[in-house]
A and B are shown apart, each in its own frame.
Chain A
């Protein structure tokens, strides 16, 4: 009995010393395990698939994000990410007030189509006052006007094997040695056909400003801000995004962020 408790005491002392060492060494001891593509990090990021399934089960297909009243718009919409793309093609279009802009919709569709801003503005519109939640933690309420993405998808005819809508954008992020990397994002067909998922060309009763994604950005109200691609150039329907850029389904996803951003 005595030997037993002495051994136990040693065990406890060692445990306490280990815990103290961990604290003193600081939290950088975990850094190597959490680098991109480390198996530990990859295992932990699979929790995102659990979150995705759980939220898909809990949220009704058509359940709407809360819409606010005019009086709750208390400030301008805070821009984030790219706010002034310096892509030559974009700057040329912007110079002419986007008159020459064409939205390309293609991929797994029956009729690949391109839309001018004028055509989009003449389609039935939806206006919604919603809260934009940034992954960083802040929120901002603004009014958005645009064409429901579902209407566009119905016009072009989505093929049955299409699983994702990929938004290719004009804004280019510096990509180190490989040069610039264009922004892109993707959502599943359920979010693509959600009534509040709109291609917005208007914000707070005016044309969408450049800082907020002119001429066209998508609103995906049940997810965080980085899913809501700005400066959209092309929408491509695909079965898988594994072959697109980094293969994770979006610019930020390729840089470690979760693909499903409902949390």
Chain B
């Protein structure tokens, strides 16, 4: 009786607890955590820099006497004397008082695009925002090259990033599994992981660096073709901001997946490299 009751439990435990494998190389883990620090500071100083001129445009120049703005954040005074934070996106106007345009402690609200808690430094200081932004920008670019070279040599890129034909065939099933929050722990990344990491590392990272460089008048002289690819300096600035939004979106989903797939196991694999896979995944990798 007791044996029969215990059996399903045993099966369950066995299914959850497979062997611990070595999953992440030192290069993957090192670059991952350097990027965590870099992207944190780049985002918060980027918003500081954006606050110095909180409007985005399409084209070479900023329209002061014509309208080529796609996004702007500002404050307006209402008829009753109160002030509202206003965000305009493609001509649509939204009241964002308290967060975008007009924010601060009660009674000390100020006109500022992104609020103090989203910028470094917390007060308005473009000069310092730039100093910190470019410092971490250099580290991000350096780490990107290290990662790319290491991943090319140790096979991470071929094995874990570029999806195979078989991966793509399993895409519908993988999407369905993720949608049901049913996660499997296999030796290699699943196809959605491969695609999302591939997009972030091989598309979004280079794009945000290159659009950043397109805003540099020095680089515009060194590589005049670059800014033309993006359709002008102000378009490059808009794309730079848009890629930031996509990376923040990736971050939110990434953290949610870590939590849902078992935070201790996933965090361990990113710190020590060791990862416990499901028991019978021998041929699923």
Contacts and interface: CB of A to CB of B under 8 A. Distances in A.
Q: Do A and B bind?
A: yes
Interface of A: 8-9, 12, 26-28, 30-31, 34, 41, 44-45, 47-48, 50-51, 55, 58-60, 63-66, 68, 72, 74-76, 78, 131, 133-141, 221-224, 252, 255-258, 262-263
Given A30-B121, A263-B216, A75 B131 contact: no
A45 B131 CA distance: 5
Contacts of A45: 131, 135
Interface residues of B, number: 53
- Main SS at interface, chain B: helix
B155 interface: no
B90 interface: no
Interface string B7-47: 00000000000000000000000000000000000001000
A55 to B, nearest CB: 4
Contact of A47 (B62, B135, B215): B135
A27 B120 contact: yes
Closest 6 CB pairs of A and B: A262-B218, A256-B127, A75-B65, A28-B122, A137-B53, A138-B62
A74 B66 contact: yes
Interface of B: 44, 49-50, 52-53, 55, 60-66, 116-123, 125-128, 130-132, 134-135, 137-138, 213, 215-224, 227, 233-234, 237, 263-264, 267-268, 271-272
B52 A137 contact: yes
Contacts of A224: 217
12 contacts: A12-B267, A27-B118, A28-B121, A44-B135, A74-B66, A75-B61, A133-B217, A137-B53, A256-B125, A256-B127, A257-B127, A258-B130
Given A133-B217, A135-B126, A222-B217, A34 B62 contact: no
A53 B128 CA distance: 21
Nearest to A32: B121
A256 B271 CA distance: 37
Contacts of A59: 218, 221-222
A58 B222 contact: yes
Nearest to A63: B221
Nearest to B44: A27
B220 A66 contact: yes
Contacts of B128: 34, 41, 256
B65 A74 contact: yes
A59 to B, nearest CB: 4
Contacts of B62: 78, 138-140
Given A136-B53, A136-B126, A252-B127, A141 B60 contact: yes
A223 B138 CA distance: 19
Given A59-B218, A222-B221, 19 more contacts: A26-B116, A26-B122, A34-B131, A44-B132, A47-B135, A63-B222, A76-B65, A133-B233, A137-B215, A137-B237, A138-B55, A138-B62, A139-B233, A221-B217, A256-B127, A256-B128, A262-B219, A263-B134, A263-B218
